[in-house]
């Protein structure tokens, strides 16, 4: 007589799949706002250079891929493998790849804003000198996290890699805060009208 299978205890869906589902749905809200911004941009700036339009299209494509991978990942957890607690206690390729596309979008945005800061500051290199290495470091950390996560898809391994996640999130937050503070400071010191302040963020 064969041994009876050992039942698996289900995971807490509130803190696992439920949190992922909430994140995916919340992400779609920002994705919709992104699509609206792109539509407004194309309508109002039809004469922009093709390189700039290609950059906008590239960001939209990467963001779309991020949302698709997130949707596939949550579908695997809640639909195609519903009730499979072994599957639910592991992370999988779509969710990890979604992180890659997410950090690519943020990297492009941060580098573009760094360029605008450099231009607005009178081409001073002090700001790009620390912002660019920080942005690249954030990208490298996320790639290392994903590569090591793909090597072992258990959640225990992700817990072991939490230092990468903490470092990546801390860098991203720090970069965004620095960009915001520096941009607001430079715009305030410039003492220009609203239209001119808006114009400095249009790539020449």
The residues spanned by each domain of the chain are 17-199
DSSP one-letter code for 202: S
CB 153 within 8 A of CB 91: yes
Residue 154 bridge partners (DSSP): 90
Cα–Cα dist 192/90, whole Å: 54
Task: Provide the whole-model pTM.
Answer: 0.80
Cα–Cα dist 180/194, whole Å: 17
pLDDT in tens, the chain (204 residues): 444 444 455 556 666 677 888 889 999 999 999 999 999 999 999 898 999 899 999 999 999 999 999 999 999 888 888 777 777 777 888 989 999 999 999 999 999 999 999 988 888 899 999 999 999 999 999 999 999 988 888 878 888 888 998 999 999 999 999 999 999 988 888 765 555 555 555 555
Evaluate the CA torsion angle 21, 35, 103, 153 in order and state its sign.
Answer: positive
Q: Which two tokens stand for residue 179?
A: 């960009």
Q: Which two tokens stand for residue 173?
A: 């937050």
H or E element that contains 97 = helix 93-120
3-state secondary structure of 42: helix
Q: Which residues, other chains included, contact 130 with Cβ-Cβ below 8 Å and sequence gap of 6+?
A: none
């Amino acid at each position: 007589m064969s041994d009876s299978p050992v039942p698996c205890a289900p995971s807490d869906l509130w803190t696992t799949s439920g949190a992922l589902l909430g994140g995916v749905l919340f992400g779609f809200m920002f994705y919709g706002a992104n699509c609206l911004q792109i539509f407004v941009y194309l309508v109002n700036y039809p004469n922009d250079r093709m390189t700039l339009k290609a950059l906008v299209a590239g960001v939209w494509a990467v963001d779309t891929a991020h949302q698709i991978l997130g949707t596939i990942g949550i579908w695997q957890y809640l639909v195609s493998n519903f009730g499979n607690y072994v599957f639910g206690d592991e992370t999988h390729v779509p969710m990890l790849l979604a992180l890659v596309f997410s950090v690519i979008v943020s990297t492009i945005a941060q580098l573009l804003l760094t360029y605008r800061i450099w231009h607005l500051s009178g081409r001073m290199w002090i700001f790009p000198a620390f912002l660019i290495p920080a942005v690249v470091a954030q990208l490298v950390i996320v790639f290392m996290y994903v590569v090591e996560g793909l090597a072992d898809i258990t959640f225990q391994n992700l817990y072991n890699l939490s230092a990468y996640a903490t470092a990546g999130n801390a860098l991203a937050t720090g970069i965004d805060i620095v960009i915001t503070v520096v941009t607001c400071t430079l715009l305030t010191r410039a003492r220009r009208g609203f239209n001119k302040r808006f114009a400095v963020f249009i790539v020449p």
